[in-house]
Structure 1
């Protein structure tokens, strides 16, 4: 089995507006956070470039339990989660929670200690322990759970709590809700999100006399400048543009281009593949043409000649003008582009012929265990942990400081209001791009459908098969999976 990936099942669906958010959870209404609270001093050192708001103390999500209660939290190690005993951000936020809820005791268990080493093993373990009546009250996983894992039966839907407490979902980025919904019930809340951006090398634009990307750019503008910025041959060549392809072989990066042309992978009720329909086919023809017709996207051989093992390396070497990627794929010095560094900068991806579209990466995902004996207390923890006080404290503790560089190490908050408050950290470009970011909701047989898409499109990028032949085969395989 493949090792656990933080980007396992990412895809797209239409972004839901406030009306759809309300319908998904039966006409939710006013925000259930309660009170404005008082302000405390910021935990991060003052920096005139940041203007970060102080941590707010709010009584949101407090349990009404009187007796002491112990919550078992299963979490995925990674980053600040790796060593919980260290006084890092997670430890600090947990201390804030127990200080506000003194009758709670939180026990933290990394899933790796349970014997699971792969994503599939994690999902099987969740289902097995729930069937045995032994489960965790709260689960934190790096990815949303695919519907075909059978895991949703071991989780507790959140709609009952959302209706009861009139918990407002409108502050979460629109793409977060469909990404955590299964059979009309919301199962997960996210704390951080990320999306693809258009990173570009300002020095290459300046030397070529090309105008820098703007928010009004369309596909044709990108192609025009990418051709002007592609120069030279062999080891001395520089290239105009590359769309990121995930290191695990996934082709989900193609989805926003399909959406931008008015297409999708499946029809509205997800019963039939439409990847072979004109809107999707046209978008998928446009992408490989960048490589095989216009030669602005380097081939594997050209990457080797440029001594770059991956497309991200080509960008950091100064041999690629534009990279369509996510911040986490690049080093800190490059992602500091959003904060005024001179060599690199960042823009929103270009608008498609039909609309602007982007892909949403939400993580981590928090769930409630279906077999929890303290559901109200587990919900109280989940609600608080994904709320304003906890997330401000989290980002305060995760800033990278030193070398005249103060930038966030984490992704933008899943709450739009907090992302706007911390806009000096993440940049207006990130916020603007997130407004159009989408994620496909969990789908039955989703892993098999994704595999058919990924394998079926692989020959297209290498110029080994036509888009028409590849998409026809993908649609045939996906429809067979859906009908099976």
Structure 2
């Protein structure tokens, strides 16, 4: 990249999230010697498990959920499932109120950033012992370790991941060819991406063709530049450090200095995904979760998926995805566990992949034809490869409040170009440090 971003020689140590060790502990749940089924499964009598989620038809993953629940019913189990569709955007408030009122669902789907705040409120049942008991069925070793970070606290497993959503780079091959740009490969850097975006940006007004989009997921760009959002103890903000604020400035410069990425106003009529599908954006750093939508639209141009660009020293991206957990207060823990196990079998994860178009967290499914067999010529292998470069953000109990602070303080720099990123990041640090002060006591 031009300027100091991605070219700084002073190294900033990358702080691993405090959950990494916990994820490894979760993977080791079977115990010494790999023994499993340490206790016999109890017989479950007739019961009804309330299950709240937002995977509903006609969305592809909603069709997959219907098929998964139908396959459970076909087993003839005495456990019935009361499937209740809720609004994902309201889930945190809804679950918080239900916990407080003593009426939580038995089994709940939850976004990764809400898992820790609900855990802090005593929201999740520890299923570590159940997973050890049923290891031959659960097979935690078949899960990618990274998604297990999301559902592990203090070495204890509190749920299972449903899918993986990682940072990838989508590209319009037709626009690249017409602009003389190469198809992105594994050597691409953020500097190289900017150079390509300059060459691919052309036209004015309604005919404007954008070289790229400024990533809405900004933290991986900070990480790739050697910066961090929080320290290792997750009680101090580090956005005031050069490696962090230079990355934020680089993102702002994409819009305001280089003019290779649309402003917020340019996305009002059509968002970035819609403009990409319309052939108006050449390079789209985004989340892999959109692949199903894009495949469903069957774009009229050749397109593909690449790894996110490399930073100053590393390649980095987000790792997200949904989770399932049994909520504290459930009177049907064993029954809910049986349903949750079913929704995490390889057979059901194959449904998440097809027709669900999501990347399953089980390696045996994600690396099989169930997920990797897309309509030609699209190759989804790079989506799986991107897992190795992905990191889970700082999903601490204060995550929601922290991101609200950071987004509000950095928004002017991104949207208008002022104030400078350094000043905005210093203010973000001041407010986040105040929020996290109790964690330093």
TM-score (norm 1): 0.75
- Which of 446, 463, 469 lines up with 2:423 in the alignment? 469
Matched, 1:275 2:224: no
Correspondence 1:8-407 to 2 at 5 A: 14=16, 21-24=23-26, 28=30, 64-66=41-43, 68-80=45-57, 88-100=63-75, 102-110=76-84, 112=86, 118-130=90-102, 134-149=103-118, 152-166=121-135, 168-245=139-216, 253-301=217-265, 308-329=269-290, 332-333=293-294, 342-363=301-322, 365-396=323-354, 398=355
SS at match of 1:274: coil
Secondary structure, aligned partner of 2:255: helix
Superposed CA offset, 1:357-387 (max 9, x none): 1112212x21112233343343233223212
- Which has the higher mean CA deviation after the structures are superposed, 151-160 or 466-475? 151-160
Point out where structure 1 has 5 or more consecutive residues left out of the alignment. 1-11, 35-60, 246-252, 399-408
Q: What is the deviation of 1:477?
A: 0.3
Structure 1 stretch displaced more, 88-97 or 274-283: 88-97
CA distance in structure 1 between the aligned counterparts of 2:162 and 2:226, rounded to whole angstroms: 30
Distance (Å, rounded) in 1 between the aligned partners of 2:351 and 2:273: 32
Contact 1:13 1:438 in 2 (8 A): no
Distance 1:375 1:356, change over 3 A: same
Aligned match of 2:11: none
Q: Is the 8 A contact 1:25 1:163 kept in 2?
A: no
1:175 partner SS: helix
Q: Which residue of 2 aligns with 1:3?
A: none
Unaligned runs of 5+ in 2: 1-13
Q: Secondary structure at the match of 1:324?
A: strand
Aligned residues: 415
Shift of 1:109: 4.1
* 1:192 Cα deviation from its structure 2 partner: 1.5
CA 1:285/1:144 → structure 2, altered by over 3 Å: closer, same or farther? closer
Q: CA RMSD in A?
A: 3.6
**Which structure is higher in helix share?**
2
Given that 2:197 and 2:260 are in contact with CA atoms closer than 8 Å, whether structure 1 keeps it comes out as yes
Match of 1:427 in 2: 380
- Whether 2:422 is the aligned partner of 1:450: answer no
Give the match's secondary structure for 1:155: coil
SS of aligned partner of 1:474: helix
Deviation for aligned residue 1:161:
2.5
Q: Assess, with a 3 A threshold, how the Cα gap between structure 1 residues 22 and 121 changes in structure 2: closer, same or farther.
A: closer
Distance between the aligned counterparts of 1:374 and 1:149, measured in 2?
19
User: 1:153–1:370: 8 Å Cα contact kept in structure 2?
Assistant: yes
Alpha-carbon contact 1:238-1:320 (below 8 Å) kept: yes
Aligned counterparts of 1:112 and 1:64: Cα–Cα separation in 2: 31
Tell me how far apart the structure 2 counterparts of residues 205 and 224 of structure 1 sit (CA, whole Å).
12
With normalisation by structure 2, the TM-score equals 0.82
| Contact 1:139-1:369 at 8 Å conserved across structures | yes
Q: CA 1:452 to 1:300, structure 2 compared with 1: closer, same or farther past 3 Å?
A: closer
Q: Which residue of 1 aligns with 2:362?
A: 415
Given that 1:63 and 1:377 are in contact with CA atoms closer than 8 Å, whether structure 2 keeps it comes out as no
CA positional deviation for 1:198:
1.2
Query: 1:439 & 1:310 partners in 2: Cα distance?
Result: 26
Q: Which moved more, 1:256-265 or 1:292-301?
A: 292-301
What SS is found at the alignment partner of 1:366? strand
Q: Sort the Cα spacing of 1:18 and 1:125 in 2 relative to 1 into closer, same or farther, 3 A.
A: closer
